[in-house]
Amino acid sequence: MARPVTVGLDGSPESLAAAGWAAHEARSRDAPLRLVNAWPVPDQKELTPGREAAWQYWAECALRSARAELDADHPGMAILTDQIPGMPAPVLLAEAERAQMLVVGSRSIGAVAGFFLGSVGLELAARSVTPVVLVRADGREERHGDVVAGVEPGEPCDDILEFAFDAAARRDGVLRALYANRVPAIRDDAPWVVDVGLRDARKESEHSLGEVLAPWRDKFSDVRVFEEVSSDSPARRLVSAAAGTALMVVGRGPRRVGFGPRLGPVAQAVAHHAACPVAVVPQR
């Protein structure tokens, strides 16, 4: 059996939206859907026996309700449920090792289009060994359509491109490969020298992006690809490109700086503010 598409389910509208998104993804992959709820271990002092029993009962109801709804929407799909003692982040990180991808819900911040990534979502996106997809409850869901991939030709990006090309192929959509980079300040040069320098830099960037994409174009020959090179902040351009997009794909490098889990600044900005599901793909 194929590895499952796993969802962290806590009964919130965000996690239910994540489960719905994951069900469509699992069907496209001919994979089982796995719904996982983590509930606190019994020795937590703040949980009295009565509160622990109530928590467990509520979690069981949330799993049953979600499964019943998904069974109705996706008859014949293999749907697995599990309630695992433990804190959510460690439980879901362990589950990710056995899954094709991990899907979790993200909260929007008031009227501002964006994600509110709590400590659990941040840790999952920063540490999971498999791609993590963040899904909002209030986002307009596009089942088919463009997939946007943030690409930096000078960095390893095969894992990002493999995921993005595959996602576009499953959606019968277009892959937009976007490379954005701020133009450095140029001082003490004549205007025509600056213009030539910028044109040359753009041509070099377009050439580099094309070289990176070439082997994946060959492998996924049915996927239409649009290349975009932008002289802008990568985070700002990617967030802007997310509007009306089916899926945004960004990478997460292997390096961590400081204490605790960290995403790079671009991935974190996209995760917080992109108005579409965001896949954070670990790069080997």
CA 117 from chain centre, in angstroms, equals 12
Residue with tokens 């996602």: 167
β partners of residue 105 = 135
Q: What is the pLDDT of residue 261?
A: 54
Q: What is the pLDDT of residue 192?
A: 44
Q: Name the 3-class secondary structure at 224.
A: strand
Residues 91 and 84: their CA atoms lie apart, in Å, by: 7
Q: What is the pTM of this model?
A: 0.85
CA nearest neighbour of 27 among 60, 47, 2? 2
For the stretch 188-245, pLDDT in tens is 554 544 454 456 667 888 889 999 999 999 999 999 999 999 888 899 999 999 888 9
Give the least confident one: 49-53, 224-228, 252-256: 49-53
Q: What is the pLDDT of residue 121?
A: 77
Q: Over 50: is that where the pLDDT of 141 sits?
A: yes
**What's the burial of 247, exposed, middle or buried (CB within 10 Å: 0-12/13-18/19+)?**
buried
Q: What is the pLDDT of residue 119?
A: 66
State the span(s) of the chain assigned CATH 3.40.50.620: 5-136, 147-282
For the stretch 270-284, pLDDT in tens is 888 888 999 999 987
Q: What is the mean pLDDT of the chain?
A: 82
CATH homologous superfamily, domain 147-282:
HUPs (3.40.50.620)
User: 178: Cβ–Cβ under 8 A, 6 or more apart, which residues?
Assistant: 148, 149, 150, 151, 228, 230, 237, 238, 241
Evaluate the CA torsion angle 211, 216, 218, 222 in order and state its sign.
negative
* Domain boundaries 5-136, corresponding CATH code: 3.40.50.620
Q: What is the pLDDT of residue 109?
A: 47
User: 256: Cβ–Cβ under 8 A, 6 or more apart, which residues?
Assistant: 126, 262
For the stretch 90-123, pLDDT in tens is 999 999 999 999 999 876 544 344 444 556 777 8
Tell me if 4 sits within 8 A of 99, measured CB to CB. Answer: yes
Name the percent of the chain lying above pLDDT 70.
77
